[in-house]
Structure 1
């Protein structure tokens, strides 16, 4: 029987966004003000989601797990603390880019981010192959769904919109239809239209049109 997976959805979005930032960082010409601004905006969205995700896990998922399995959250919390320090240094480096950096300086930043990315991917792989199993062991699917709904309800709309911007394009259609149908039934119409417009800007036209059609049928 397929069990509820608490980490799969946000991690798909984060993997996709990290890859996109790395790809952009690899080719961008920072002496072009427009390109530099785009890189900084993309990085700000990435680091915002990474920070939000770590706090969400610490305050919700891992706290609840710790209540049922003492010590089970320690490894992930330690990882979060270590990664936060590396992330902060990268954020500061990104913010400090002026467009006057040499190719060697940019490549050093690229390598530093690549190392962080590899560390982060290892961390979330362990969460999905170790911590996920602990959640499934100590909680029923109904409890895990309730936890997920509670977490999503704690997001303000701009944060929810930012998450969906990167999660939806990274998921399978069936997963997206289920998620968007639920949102369609619970958020105001104008908010749902804003969600769909944001997603449209991040997806291939054919994929988005097929998704919109199926969501409209629900």
Structure 2
């Protein structure tokens, strides 16, 4: 049986899919006349749009440059989609500011966010199929991990925390244990404990027991 290659997209895309789906549902049931609810959901939408913008920049800077170096033109189609996504994000931000006390604006935000999520689900699938194929053809797994580590090294603590919050609860038990096992070996103890404290309330009892058993905690 062939050993699976390292998938640079797997975990961050799981987190993004979960965050997008959660936020879309929240916007779909939003009461535009409830100021407190609008404030909370608006913050969630802004956080989603911020992480999407940041993710696009990371892919352009780190992954696409690596692909371009070994196979020029391989990421041209997806780069054009990234430009379109940036325009969609700007439009969503504009709509979001018009939601308070405006049911029509809230419905418009919901529909446009739904389109944005649909486009991104298709887009991420394309990256996982086509871009991974290019990376695997031209780079070793160690080289791909080095690209991934360069992305992580340039992240702010705030972006890392948000990514971890959405990635870890939506991984399989073995993926979650593998990531946290590696983190325990390389990260400061207080950081590892902080991540456990962050995700424990987000995991069901069964998932937490599986993680505890795998990590021996």
TM-score by length of 1: 0.92
In the TM superposition, 1:3-22 aligns within 5 A as: 3-22=5-24
Structure 1: gaps of 5 or more residues: none
Match of 1:110 in 2: 110
Match of 1:84 in 2: 86
63-72 vs 36-45, which moves further: 36-45
In the TM superposition, 1:54-133 aligns within 5 A as: 54-98=56-100, 100-102=101-103, 104-133=104-133
- 2:43 aligned to which of 41, 52, 57: 41
Q: CA deviation at 1:188?
A: 2.1
Match of 2:145 in 1: 145
Cα distance change of structure 1 residues 197 and 92 upon mapping to structure 2, 3 Å threshold: farther
RMSD: 1.6
SS in 1 for 2:202: coil
1:116-158: per-residue Cα shift (whole Å, max 9, x none)?
1111111111111111111111111121122212221221222
Q: CA deviation at 1:45?
A: 1.9
Q: Distance in 1 between matches of 2:44 and 2:205?
A: 21
Match of 1:161 in 2: 161
Match of 1:183 in 2: 183
Structure 2: gaps of 5 or more residues: none
Q: Distance in 2 between matches of 1:197 and 1:36?
A: 28
26-35 vs 78-87, which moves further: 26-35
Tell me how many residue pairs correspond in the alignment: 215
Q: CA deviation at 1:96?
A: 3.6
